Amino acid sequence: MSVVVTIHFPVSDVAKAIEGLHGNAEFLEEISASTKDAGLLHHRFVSGDGELVVIDEWETAEQFQSFFDGNPKVAQVMTSVGMTGAPEISVFGSIDAPGTV
């Protein structure tokens, strides 16, 4: 089964961080397109109090880790959103449970 990965990026200004994402739209689309063949199933940004959060679904945790560790473009995205500290990464195994949609 797939894994769900959350990455919490601390930022000082959420609105400016979102502007940074929009300012790099073409670059972000390029990254997403290149990861589809590397095991990425779903990708989404959400925002919270003082943070942007990425919610991904990958075929395997190893595929995510390979992408995250081996892609210099990830660091460029982190810079563009004005990160104020290290990202917090969590990996969750999917389970097949009643009521799942």
Q: What residues have CB less than 8 Å from 89, skipping those under 6 apart?
A: 5, 6, 7, 8, 68
Residue 56, pLDDT score = 97
- What are the φ/ψ torsions at residue 94 (nearest 5 degrees)? -75, 150
Q: What percent of the chain has pLDDT over 70?
A: 100
Calpha distance 60→66 (Å, rounded): 10
- Please give the mean pLDDT across all residues of the chain: 92
Domain ranges for the chain: 3-93
Calpha distance 24→26 (Å, rounded): 6
Residue 24, pLDDT score = 87
Q: Name the CATH topology of 3-93.
A: Alpha-Beta Plaits (3.30.70)
Distance between the two ends of the chain, CA-based, in angstroms?
Answer: 15
Q: SS3 for 86?
A: coil
pLDDT band at 34 (very low <50, low <70, confident <90, very high): confident
The pLDDT tens digits of the residues spanning 56-97 come to 999 999 999 999 887 888 788 888 888 999 999 999 999 999
What is the full DSSP assignment across 28-64?
HHHHHHHHHTTTEEEEEEEEETTEEEEEEEES-HHHH
Residue 53, pLDDT score = 96
Residue range 47-53: mean pLDDT, rounded? 96
